[in-house]
Amino acid sequence: MNVLLLALGGGIGAIARYLVGLAMMKRYLDPPFPVAMLVVNLIGSFGLGAFFGGYFQEIPLGAYEDPLFLTVGIGFFGAFTTYSTFSVEASMLLKAKQWRKLSLYIGFSIIGSILFFLLGFSMLVAFTS
């Protein structure tokens, strides 16, 4: 059953990532750095934080057996966000020696994702308390 929950959440998350990525690429035809995956990863980090804050009110260590966490946390948000695409895009900027774009992309992606997770988490903990 757990594998089915992961597949369901992951399938929906992958489709959502694709659609949001397409929308961002259409909106920003010549972005200063890979905006589409940055936005996807920031939205996903915020959403996962909000999920943790609203559902658990903490960041639990042993949530891997919880069916909703498997579906939403690991399945949906795991497939929605994409560290592998981030790595490819960062490598492309590195290869092109676009140091400023690379630095901005890495900084916004890593620091932004952590801050967005904490923001989503804090907002939902405060909202549900």
Global pTM? 0.91
Phi, psi of 38 (to 5 degrees): -60, -50
Residue carrying the six token digits 């994409």: 82
Give buried/exposed letters for 40-67 (b at 16+ CB in 10 A, else e): bbbbbbbbbbbbbbebbeeeeeebeebe
Token code pair at residue 70: 């498997």
Per-residue confidence (pLDDT) for residue 62, from 0 to 100: 81
Residue type, 35: V
Segment 16-27 mean pLDDT: 93
Residue 1 has pLDDT above 80, yes or no: yes
Percentage with pLDDT > 70 across the chain = 100
Per-residue confidence (pLDDT) for residue 40, from 0 to 100: 95
Token code pair at residue 53: 């804050």
- Residues at the annotated binding site for Na(+)? 78, 81
Contact 102, 36 (CB under 8 A): no
- Residues at the annotated binding site? 78, 81
Q: Where are the domains of the chain?
A: 2-128
Residue 129 has pLDDT above 80, yes or no: no
Token code pair at residue 82: 């994409």
Segment 89-111 mean pLDDT: 96
**Band (64; pLDDT cuts 50, 70, 90):** confident
Token code pair at residue 86: 């981030």
